[in-house]
Each structure stands twice: as structure tokens, then as C-alpha cells.
Amino acid sequence: MKPKVRFGIDVLLKEKIDLLEGKRIGLVTNHTGVTSALEWTVDALHRHPKVRLVCLYGPEHGIRGDVQDALKIDSFMDSRTGLQVHSLYGEHTKPTPNMMKEIDAFVFDIQEVGARYYTYIATMNRCMEAASEQDKEFFVLDRPNPITGTAVEGNILEERYRSFVGERPIPIRHGMTMGELARMFNEEYDIGCKLTVIKAEGWKREMWYDETGLPWVMPSPNLPTLETAVVYPGTCLFEGVNISEGRGTTRPFEMIGAPWIDGFKLTDKLKEEGLPGVVFRGLHFIPTVGKFAGEVCGGVQLHVCDRRRFKPVLTALTMFRKIMDLFPSSIEFRKGWRDEDYSFDLLAGTDSIRRGLIEGKEPRDIEAGWDKELRSFLKSRRKYLLYP
């Protein structure tokens, strides 16, 4: 492989490894932390003569990426390296002082997908907070945003709805890399840790992941392809209602449905909207796990035909609007893991979108309400951007 882009880990190993020399390192990573040659970052640092790797930290889905969503994970000893793996998606989601007593610095190397909901962002934020509190250095080995760094969409999260699927007030599709987000969080929200970002090389903001020349590694069990990541910022919202988001199929987040949906009626209504960059196909599917496992669901599959014009959040809200119009007595917004909140609201980062849909508001009117806050976000993020 001759990739156009080098990951932060590649740059570190070839040119900047002296930054870690003499420090006891705790590595926050998972299966996505690989070099451009697909060597696991854990192995690369564990065998390096200048690196003293003393422990590992794993996010949601586990350090090996084999655990399904929302399942708590225990800490354990890694048989491959003999290192302690501290779980950050179990009893604790933020490193405790005891978890950090043997380290001088964190190294963070995880691939994100470009959406606020993705819990790897919250894991990084909480590790940065812990590093600041315990006076540890924090290194981010940066990676491309797989769905570009140019497109930004969705509302800004409200503080009232801050949670592990929305840690900071950024849009649903934020258009930043993890290194850029780390720089923003560190300054804008007064974390104040000793932060160093090792940039990826060769990435430009308009690049999609398949334009980097790098191999795609599934960021989590239900994001098997780049195509899935393209629709995910919109269709993840279906996790908050009694509609399958396609988990338990080979096309999660691309197929949406329920036993009570007539997918062909829904498709006809969606075609009338002329949504940019996407066409819909009515279908039936049977999830093997998750919502409606073993049941026949009617629904639609999203086929993105022009990803540069496609608006995942607007598309998802339009799907909600048509489903609510066609099947008003069947759709249910479900209570979330915080009893006082709806899951949809925690994902959306506000209750105004759900309330607007219930009141019959048109998705394009909801979208128009984000314009001012998005302009403000784009202005404030400028000084944290690392790539042209």
C-alpha cells in the first residue's frame, strides 16, 4: 500500500518518538489504533526500545472492538502484552487517580467517525480532564475525519443534555479531527492539560476516507463501511425510538424500519421531498439482534448517490416527519438511560427537535434554526484547525 496520508502514529514512530522517551506511557486505544501498515499501535509502542508502555485504557466496544454497543466492560490483563487494561466503559468512564498512578503521560490513538454521538469523543475528553487533574501529559495521535472536515451539520448540543453521547457543545456532524477537537476542548472549556497533537500528514479537509489510500478499519461493530459512516450522523437518531436502525443486518444505519412500517408508502413520500444526494428503496428485512430481532420489518434503505450534497441529519429528520405523518399512532419516543430524559433528546442534544417534530414542524424549518449557531461554531473552531 502507498497511502496518500500518514496517521499520527506513523509520524510519531518515524520522526517524533523522542517525545515519549523516558516517560511511563498509558495508551488509550482500541482496534482502530493501527499504523498505515495495519500494525496495532499497542504492539508498535510495546516493542519500541524508546517507549515504556505500562498500561492500556479501553473505550466503549473494548480495546479489541469486539463488544456490542452499550455493554459494560471489565478491566483485565492483556494476554498478548501482559499489560493491565483499564476499562473506561464500565464502572468508570474517566480514569481514576489509582488508574493513573503508574503513568507520566497518556497517548490517545482511536479513530472517530465524525459524529458527536460517538462515545470515543467523550472518552478522550474525560481522559484529558483526568490528565489535567493529575498533572499528566496528553498526546493525541491524530487521524482523518472519515466523512471530511468541510461539512458541518446539525444543532449545537445544549448543556442540559450533556451526556456520554454528547460531551461538549458541538454540532452533530462536527467536521473536525480528534486532534482538533482536543485542542478546542482544552482551551474553550478550560481543561488545561499539557496537550500535544501529532498531526496526520497529507490529509486535506475535503478528503473522504477512501481518498486517503488507507485501509478502512471498522470503528465499531455496527460501522462496517465508509458508506455506513456517511449516513450515521443522521440515522443514529433512530436509536431513540421504536424503529430499528438496522442493527442485526449487514447494512446497519442504512436500513431503517419496523414491523408496522409500510416501506413502499414511506419511499413514495420521501421521493416527493427531493432530498439532495440520496435515493430511497422500499424493502423488508429481519434483524438478527437488537430491536425486532427475528421479526419482519418494513422500511427503507438509503442509497447515497452524491455524498458531497447529501445531508444526513436533514435526511433523517425528513424520514421521521414522513413516518410520523403516515403512522402517527405507532411511533414512540423512548425514555433513555437517564430516566428524566428521552433517548432521542440525549442524542439530539436538545428536546426542541423532538418537540418540533411532534408539533408538525417541517425538517427544513428545523434546519434553518441551526444556521446562526453553526456560523458561530465555524468561527470559533478556526483557530483549532490543523489541516488545509
Q: Do 19 and 163 have their domain in common?
A: yes
Q: Do 143 and 255 have their domain in common?
A: no
What does the pLDDT read at residue 223? 96
What does the alpha-carbon distance between residue 37 and residue 9 come to, in Å, rounded to a whole number? Answer: 11
Alpha helix (H) residue ranges in 220-299:
226-235, 263-271
Q: Kindly report, residue by residue over 362-371, the tens digit of the pLDDT.
A: 999 999 999 9
User: CATH code at 241?
Assistant: 3.90.1150.140
What does the pLDDT read at residue 71? 86
Does residue 73 lie in a domain region? yes
Count of domains in the chain?
2
Res 332 pLDDT > 90:
yes
Residue 380 phi/psi, 5° resolution? -70, -25
What does the alpha-carbon distance between residue 136 and residue 327 come to, in Å, rounded to a whole number? Answer: 53
Cα–Cα nearest to 200, from 137, 113, 141: 141
Res 1 pLDDT > 70:
no
Q: Which residues, in sequence order, are CB contacts of 193 under 8 Å at separation 6+?
A: 128, 129, 131, 132, 136, 137, 138, 186
Q: Kindly report, residue by residue over 208-253, the tens digit of the pLDDT.
A: 999 999 999 999 999 999 999 999 999 999 999 999 999 999 999 9
Range of the domain at 323: 226-350
User: CATH code at 12?
Assistant: 3.40.50.12170
Q: Do 152 and 235 have their domain in common?
A: no
Which of these three, 193, 217, 241, is where a domain ends? 217
Q: Do 198 and 264 have their domain in common?
A: no
Whole-structure pTM value = 0.97
Alpha helix (H) residue ranges in the chain:
8-11, 41-46, 97-100, 120-133, 178-188, 226-235, 263-271, 312-326, 343-348, 352-358, 363-368, 371-381
Q: Do 191 and 338 have their domain in common?
A: no
Res 337 pLDDT > 80:
no
Classify 206 as helix, strand or coil.
coil
Q: Which residue type, as a one-letter code, is found at position 30? A: N
